[in-house]
């Protein structure tokens, strides 16, 4: 009985401490704010992580990056060489996405004079396969979460470091990866929270015209920037409640 | 082959889900007639990894019906993507070819590929999919006159509409105007978050 009571007390204490901690890690970065952003000069060591999610998600992500890196106005053009290290995350068995990431890097190596050596492709098990029964989904999601933690952490002791920026557009894997980054920041693993690592940019799929995706609904609360590609999505209650959401035109 | 200029209709159901009703509609006798009346010579169908049986059956049925001179071919998937088939439909790189049309499921990747090479596009949402946000995308793009919204029971009508769309073609991507132009898009957001202040 005493053990049970102790367990309950301990759980309560941990929960409230955790809630407070979560509050503090989400609070300062929840609004884009120059003072909280790290300040960098171009050419400094930087690490960008991009999540590809198979099918339409991959197509949209690469379309968006191709467009941004080939904008004709220099002030609007994404400079690939600003990101010395890139990590592409793909789901296990998704060889098409991995190939498309490689093709993109190769084309940029010629055009933007970047080193393809700066890019690595990391594979994580799928959160949920198509047609997988819903019952086993928690288990496979947990496995995916662990793998995501490893992907985020694996280079932290090397020159690459933690990702500075995570860019994703909505597959389940990306949602889990973002929550993995929160967990690492929550525990301040390797000083990632203190050093302002793993800022997050979420772009809702262009295919979402009238309603946000489930990923969007979950992530709007925790990401640093939340972009939509159809303006009417900003009217959704969850965007208003989270006080987040930007429409900058079609990005794909 | 006669001296008639080639004109291709490319039908794609995508890589993820099956879409039997689109394969049937595309290979129906009526739609074949509609294609011929618009001067099409080739019909190419990407039918997905489980679609070969259905495709063969439909093809036999179309041949039995008789009169079609259309050159009908099909394949399951192509790991190199659909770029080359889209270009064939566009009439690119083929001497004396006319621009044809692409008929596609409502997957955003396929729609983007077609918009980018600006070939007329008929989008047919798959009503059998759960959580069908693809219908919304097809409708929104049809309203903005980037694509034709195709209905399975009347693909011939969609083909007429696509001929009209060809004439008042709109370029993709849309030019972002006003405030969106100032915002520097994705680059602006990424720069802010990275703290590149220049």
Task: Look at residue A30 in the predicted model and tell me its pLDDT.
Answer: 43
Question: Quick check: is A1 in a domain?
Answer: no
Q: Give A188→chain B minimum CA distance, Å.
A: 19
Instruction: Please give the Cα distance from A162 to A153 (Å, whole number).
Output: 6
Q: Mark yes or no for CB contact B197/A34 under 8 Å.
A: yes
- B14-34 tens-digit pLDDT: 888 889 999 999 999 999 999
Taking CA–CA distances from A37, the nearest residue in chain B reads: B195
Instruction: Please give the Cα distance from A47 to B19 (Å, whole number).
Output: 41
Q: Mark yes or no for CB contact B195/A37 under 8 Å.
A: yes
Instruction: Please give the Cα distance from A213 to A219 (Å, whole number).
Output: 10
Task: Look at residue B130 in the predicted model and tell me its pLDDT.
Answer: 65
Question: Quick check: is A8 in a domain?
Answer: no
Instruction: Please give the Cα distance from B69 to B72 (Å, whole number).
Output: 9
Q: Mark yes or no for CB contact A209/B137 under 8 Å.
A: yes
Taking CA–CA distances from B195, the nearest residue in chain A reads: A39
Taking 90 as the threshold, does the pLDDT of residue B176 lie above it? no
Instruction: Please give the Cα distance from A186 to A178 (Å, whole number).
Output: 12
> In total, how many domains does chain A have?
1
Task: Look at residue B131 in the predicted model and tell me its pLDDT.
Answer: 66
Instruction: Please give the Cα distance from A19 to B130 (Å, whole number).
Output: 36
**Torsion, Cα of A78, B183, A247, B179 (10° steps):** -150
Which site among A30, A76, A200 would you substitute to test the B interface, given the most B Cβ atoms closer than 10 Å to its Cβ?
Answer: A76
Taking CA–CA distances from B136, the nearest residue in chain A reads: A209
Q: Mark yes or no for CB contact A250/B173 under 8 Å.
A: yes
Q: Mark yes or no for CB contact B133/A207 under 8 Å.
A: yes
| Token digits of residue A86 | 């890139």
Q: Is A246 exposed, middle or buried (0-12, 13-18, 19+ CB in 10 A)?
A: middle
Instruction: Please give the Cα distance from A88 to A98 (Å, whole number).
Output: 8
Taking CA–CA distances from A97, the nearest residue in chain B reads: B79
Task: Look at residue A23 in the predicted model and tell me its pLDDT.
Answer: 81
Cα dist from A3 to A9, A10, A13, B9, whole Å: 10, 10, 15, 73
Q: Give B6→chain A minimum CA distance, Å.
A: 30
Question: Quick check: is A179 in a domain?
Answer: yes
Q: Mark yes or no for CB contact A210/B133 under 8 Å.
A: yes
Question: Quick check: is A74 in a domain?
Answer: yes
What are the beta bridge partners of residue B101? B9
**A232: number of Cβ within 10 Å:** 12
Q: What is the CATH number of the domain that holds A76?
A: 3.40.50
Concatenated DSSP letters of A133-197: -GGGHHHHHHHHHHHHHHHHHTTTTSSS-S-SEEEE---HHHHHHHHHHHHHHHTTGGGTTTTT-
Question: Quick check: is A18 in a domain?
Answer: no
Q: Which whole number is the average pLDDT over B143-158?
A: 94
Q: Mark yes or no for CB contact B107/A55 under 8 Å.
A: yes
Question: Quick check: is A106 in a domain?
Answer: yes
- Domains of chain B, start order: 7-170 (3.40.50.2000)
Task: Look at residue B68 in the predicted model and tell me its pLDDT.
Answer: 76
- Does B171 touch chain A if contact means CB atoms closer than 8 Å? no
Task: Look at residue A151 in the predicted model and tell me its pLDDT.
Answer: 97
Q: Give B183→chain A minimum CA distance, Å.
A: 7
Residue A133 lies in domain: 44-247
For residues B91 and B7, the answer to whether their CB atoms sit within 8 Å is: yes
Q: Mark yes or no for CB contact A249/B195 under 8 Å.
A: no
Question: Quick check: is A219 in a domain?
Answer: yes
For residues A143 and A177, the answer to whether their CB atoms sit within 8 Å is: no
**Residues in Cβ contact with A245 at an 8 Å cutoff, skipping those fewer than 6 apart:** A220, A226, A227, A228, A233, A234, A239
B 19-48 residues with CB below 8 A of A? none
- B58-97 tens-digit pLDDT: 999 888 887 678 999 999 998 888 999 999 999 998 888 9
| Token digits of residue A67 | 């467009």
- Which ipTM did the prediction report? 0.88
Q: Mark yes or no for CB contact A249/B108 under 8 Å.
A: no
CA diameter of chain A: 71
At B54, the pLDDT band (50, 70, 90 cuts) reads very high
Q: Mark yes or no for CB contact B189/A130 under 8 Å.
A: no
What is the mean pLDDT of each successive set of 10 residues along chain A, which is 252 residues long?
Answer: 87 88 70 55 90 89 94 90 95 92 93 84 85 80 94 94 95 94 94 91 96 94 95 95 93 94
**Chain A neighbors of B194, CB-CB under 8 A:** 37-38, 40, 46, 82, 164-165, 199
HSE-CB at A85 with a 13 A cutoff on CA atoms is 19
């Amino acid at each position: 009985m005493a053990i049970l009571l102790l367990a309950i007390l301990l759980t309560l204490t941990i929960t409230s401490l955790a809630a407070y901690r979560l509050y503090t890690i989400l609070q300062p970065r929840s609004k884009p704010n120059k003072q909280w952003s790290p300040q960098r000069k171009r050419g400094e060591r930087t690490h960008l992580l991009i999540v590809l999610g198979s099918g339409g998600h991959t197509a949209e992500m690469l379309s968006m990056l191709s467009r941004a890196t080939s904008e004709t106005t220099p002030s609007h053009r994404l400079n690939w060489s600003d990101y010395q290290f890139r990590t592409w995350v793909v789901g296990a068995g998704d060889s098409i996405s991995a190939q498309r990431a490689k093709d993109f890097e190769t084309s940029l190596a010629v055009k933007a004079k970047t080193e393809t050596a700066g890019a690595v492709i990391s594979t994580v098990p799928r959160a949920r396969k198509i047609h997988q029964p819903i019952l086993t989904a928690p288990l496979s999601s947990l496995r995916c979460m662990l793998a995501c933690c490893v992907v985020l952490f694996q280079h932290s002791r090397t020159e690459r470091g933690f990702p500075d920026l995570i860019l994703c557009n909505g597959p389940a894997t990306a949602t889990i990866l973002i929550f993995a980054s929160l967990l690492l920041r929550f525990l301040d693993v390797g000083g990632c929270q203190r050093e302002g690592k793993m800022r997050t940019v979420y772009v809702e799929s262009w295919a979402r015209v009238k309603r946000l995706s489930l990923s969007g609904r979950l992530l709007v609360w925790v990401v640093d920037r939340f972009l939509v590609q159809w303006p009417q999505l900003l009217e959704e209650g969850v965007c208003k409640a989270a006080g987040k959401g930007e429409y900058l035109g079609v990005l794909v | 082959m006669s001296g008639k200029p080639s004109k291709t209709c490319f039908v794609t159901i995508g890589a993820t889900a099956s879409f039997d009703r689109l394969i049937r509609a595309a290979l129906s006798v009526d739609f074949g007639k509609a294609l011929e009346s618009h001067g099409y010579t080739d019909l190419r169908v990407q039918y997905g990894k489980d679609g070969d049986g259905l495709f063969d059956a439909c093809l036999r049925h179309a041949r039995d019906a008789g009169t079609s001179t259309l050159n009908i071919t099909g394949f399951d998937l192509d790991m190199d993507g659909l770029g080359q088939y889209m270009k064939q439909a566009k009439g690119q790189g083929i001497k004396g070819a006319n621009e044809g049309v692409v008929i596609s499921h409502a997957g955003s990747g396929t729609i983007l590929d077609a918009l980018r090479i600006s070939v007329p596009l008929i989008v047919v949402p798959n009503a059998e999919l759960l959580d069908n946000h693809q219908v919304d995308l097809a409708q929104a793009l049809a309203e903005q006159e980037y694509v034709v919204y195709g209905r399975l029971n009347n693909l011939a009508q969609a083909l007429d509409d696509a001929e009209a769309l060809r004439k008042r073609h709109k370029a993709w991507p849309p030019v972002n105007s006003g405030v969106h132009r100032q915002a520097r898009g994705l680059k602006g957001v990424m720069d802010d978050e990275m703290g590149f202040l220049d």
